[in-house]
Amino acid sequence: MPAEDTRGEAEDIEVRDPVSAPDPDGVARRHTRRFPLFTKDTARPEGAGRAAAGDALAARQWPIIVVLALVAAGLLVTALDQFRAGTIVIGVGLLTGAVLRWLLPGVGMLAVRSRFTDIVTYVVLGATIVLLALMAQPDPWLQIPFLKDTLHFTVSS
């Protein structure tokens, strides 16, 4: 029985735009912005491997480790019955993430969206958590005068 060609019919197809991801040297083989009709290659994976050596994969991840450590410390303090201090630490952790995202060009997994969107998200969440922690009852550390009147107006209407 003759050996069957395992390459299939794909080798017989003439591809007018034979380009794909950059080669191992980083040189783009694509000279047009149009997508090829058939994909013959895959792009190299994103991640720390491009910026750091293979043995230093965690080198780019220190910003998110700092943020997660602050949030974990805040959760621990909250679990130890110090609600206000713990939630303030959580909010400060998120605000620290915003500062790191703003100042550093490469932040690893701390970068989820565009720089602007990440910074706005971290600032809004962090500031909201801190403000709510400061206004939490009983004996709030921060009192906003118009808030009581606004709440009274909305509840009594």
In one-letter notation, the amino acid at residue 66 is V
Which of 86-90, 111-115, 123-127 shows the lowest per-residue confidence on average (mean pLDDT)? 111-115
CA dist., res. 110 & res. 61, Å (int): 8
What are the tens digits of pLDDT across the range 125-152? 999 999 999 988 888 888 877 777 776 6
- Is 74 within 8 Å of 83 (Cβ atoms)? no
The pLDDT of 103-122, averaged and rounded, is 89
Residue with tokens 């991840």: 61
Stated pTM of the model: 0.60
| Structure confidence at residue 45 as a pLDDT band (50, 70, 90) | very low
Q: In this structure, what token pair is assigned to residue 116?
A: 């602007």
CA dist., res. 138 & res. 37, Å (int): 65
- Is 101 within 8 Å of 109 (Cβ atoms)? no
CA dist., res. 52 & res. 100, Å (int): 19
| Torsion angles phi and psi, residue 65, rounded to 5 | -65, -40
CA dist., res. 152 & res. 155, Å (int): 5
Question: pLDDT above 90 covers what percent of the chain?
Answer: 38
pLDDT on residue 89? 97
pLDDT on residue 48? 44
Classify burial at 80, counting beta carbons within 10 Å of its beta carbon; exposed 0-12, middle 13-18, buried 19 or more.
exposed
CA dist., res. 8 & res. 43, Å (int): 23
66 conformational bin, left if phi > 0, alpha if psi -120 to 50, beta if neither: alpha
Is the pLDDT assigned to residue 34 strictly greater than 50?
yes
pLDDT on residue 61? 86
Decide: helix, strand or coil at residue 32: coil
The pLDDT of 110-132, averaged and rounded, is 93
Mean pLDDT score of the chain: 76
